[in-house]
Amino acid sequence: MSGAPSARAATRSRELFVHRSRIAAPAAEVFRWHARPGALERLTPPWERVTVVERRGGIENGGRVVLRMGRGPFASRWVAEHDGYVEGEQFRDVQVAGPFAAWEHTHRVVPAELAACHLEDCIAYALPLGPLGALIGGPVVRSRLARMFAYRHRVTAQDLAAHARVGGRTMKILVSGSSGLIGSALIPFLTTGGHDVARLVRRADARGPGTVQWDPAAGTIDAAGLEGFDAVVHLAGENIAGGRWTAAKKARIRDSRVGGTRTLVQVLTRLERPPATFVSASAVGYYGNRGAEPVDETSARGAGFLADVVDEWEAATRPAGERGIRVVNLRFGVVLSGAGGALATMLPVFRLAAGGPIGAGTQYMSWVAIDDVIGTILHALATPALSGPVNTVAPAAVTNREFATTLGRVLSRPALLPLPAFVVKLAFGEMGEELLLAGNRVIPRRLQESGYEFRFPELEGALRHVLGRSRGG
């Protein structure tokens, strides 16, 4: 196997970085995982601001990818081409243009035993400005690479294990809300597992191969395009945390969930061959403000705007169940990801050591790591006995004060400055009262009973994963 860096890279490189780990999966499957669409997206850490601008071909020789690194005026362009491809064994990407003076990254998969292998990433690189660049930037780059590849290997191992647990059957799946926080993580996860995924889109610039068009506001959809799917995952909906809840904002929140779901379900129920499974987003807002009372899927509905919306939202899926489609309503808690959502909003404040508990800090926060969100969706798709409401939260809900303390510890920052309740009410109104000052202690009873294995059952481990912050680092 020819895996050594080329003579060109050897003469220019100043550093060699190698990360190697054992993966509990056959070498052939690990290599196929890397060759499928979505692997680059799954391997990109959520704290890295990377956008794929252009892609040509796959990992075989001649493949090419153009990335935009960072955002705003500090964004840079990275162009890489693939060579050194050996089927089932290795592939290499070489920087054509980008921030390094030289970069050759060889990916190797080495069989260990029958159902395991070693995954090895070997990078020969040189920084700009020669020895001066290495002196100034060398330690930072080495630390960043170690952080990144620890994440990449962990995701590879966990994703392969998740797909192995549900068996080898692949599905044709339609996903709405594909550009959102959950959808943008879900689609690469499914495609690297071998599933055929299409997106339900409304923007004209998003249309193309592998898409089905709809306009939920107008109540229109390409009915013919919905034929032939094994499952539909419905994630579309207005961001509930995007500013004060004016009357217009509340109408958009309700209509995007209830109206959009009704439009989709009405068409699905009229199909000649409807999908076998319909997985629809929902929310733990169904339970309202419950204090320290543990609640599960058997608990009664709470009070408030969100509880009302969720009740109508789930009711809009019922005609699908009456048509014989298995419906799963995933009641999401606070989704933790370094790429966006509530956690990304908090980070700037906490990094400035200005974070702390909100209000009294005693309200419970039912959270879930983004990797367990997408893992739960796959579990729901592949578990025929699962239907109805399913709480998609980690087993260990925490108080807001505990969350702030843990996040501060992960970031190596104090988290002592409280945000008083009266400030929240003045700044955010009803939205602040329901999302920030209220709380619920939700138990994922049905997930646990159906055998789902959480990747991150504890908060600190989840935060360290999505933020790339190792213990003691």
pLDDT digits (tens, 9 = 90+) for 337-391: 999 999 999 999 999 999 999 999 999 999 999 999 999 999 999 999 999 999 9
Domain carrying residue 64: 7-165
Percent of the chain with pLDDT over 90: 79
Is the confidence at residue 207, as pLDDT, over 80?
no
Choose the weakest-confidence range: 27-41, 206-220, 405-419: 206-220
Q: Do 87 and 115 sit in the same domain of this protein?
A: yes
What the block records as the tokens of 292 is 């320290």
Q: 225 is written with which tokens?
A: 């395009």
Q: Is residue 1 part of a domain?
A: no
Are 184 and 331 in the same domain? Answer: yes
Q: Give a yes or no: residue 201 inside a domain.
A: yes
pLDDT value of position 148: 95
Domain count, the chain: 2
Q: How confident is the model at residue 188 (pLDDT cuts 50, 70, 90)?
A: very high
135 and 176 in a single domain? The answer is no
- The residue out of 165, 187, 205 marking a domain boundary is 165
Residue 235 lies in a domain: yes
CA 101/CA 9 separation, integer angstroms: 10
Query: Is the confidence at residue 193, as pLDDT, over 60?
Result: yes
- What pLDDT does residue 63 have? 96
- Which structure tokens are listed for 358? 């909100």
Percent composition of the chain: helix, strand, coil (DSSP 3-state, to 5): 40, 25, 35
Q: What is the average per-residue pLDDT within 265-290?
A: 96
pLDDT at 14: 63
Predicted local confidence at residue 165, as pLDDT: 93
| Contact between residue 95 and residue 102 where contact means Cβ atoms under 8 Å apart | yes
Does 149 fall in a domain? Answer: yes
337 and 231 co-located in one domain: yes
**Cα distances (angstroms) measured from residue 354 to each of 24, 70, 410, 416, 452:** 42, 25, 15, 8, 37
151 and 200 belong to one structural domain? no
> Are residues 401 and 313 part of one domain?
yes
**What is the C-alpha to C-alpha distance for residues 268 and 263, in angstroms, rounded to an integer?**
9
Tell me the CATH number at 48: 3.30.530.20
- pLDDT at 79 (0 to 100): 96
In a domain? residue 2? no
Confidence grade of residue 202 (pLDDT, cut at 50, 70, 90): confident
Q: Choose one of 130, 165, 200: the last residue of a domain.
A: 165
**Is 76 or 163 the better-scoring residue by pLDDT?**
163
Q: Which tens digit of pLDDT belongs to each residue from 158-169?
A: 999 999 999 878
Examine the domain organization and report whether 255 and 345 are in the same domain. Answer: yes
Flag whether pLDDT at 4 surpasses 70. no
Find, among 392, 262, 250, 368, the residue nearest to 309 by Cα: 250
Is residue 472 assigned to a domain? no
pLDDT, tens digit (0-9, with 9 covering 90-100), for 232-274: 999 998 888 877 899 999 999 999 999 999 999 999 999 999 9
In this structure, the answer to whether residues 176 and 209 fall within a common structural domain is yes
Q: Which pLDDT score is estimated for 205?
A: 59
**Above 80 in pLDDT, residue 9?**
no
pLDDT score recorded for residue 138: 83
402-458 residue pLDDT tens = 999 999 999 999 998 998 888 888 888 888 888 888 999 999 999 999 999 999 999
- Are residue 338 and residue 201 in the same domain, yes or no? yes
pLDDT band at 298 (very low <50, low <70, confident <90, very high): very high
Whether residue 208 is predicted with pLDDT greater than 80 in this model: the reply is no
Residue 395 falls inside a structural domain: yes
Residues 196 and 120 in one domain: no
Instruction: Say if residue 374 is in the same domain as residue 437.
Output: yes
| pLDDT tens, residue by residue, 78-104 | 999 999 999 999 999 999 999 999 999
> What is the per-residue pLDDT for 387?
97
Asked whether residue 28 is domain-assigned, the answer is yes
Q: Which of 116, 146, 165 is the last residue in one of the domains?
A: 165
% of the chain surpassing 70 pLDDT: 96
- Helices 130-165 & 27-35 angle (0-180, nearest 10): 110
CATH of the domain at 346: 3.40.50.720
Task: Check whether residue 251 and residue 145 sit in a common domain.
Answer: no
CA angle 175, 282, 434 (to 5 degrees): 135
Query: How high is the pLDDT of residue 3?
Result: 41
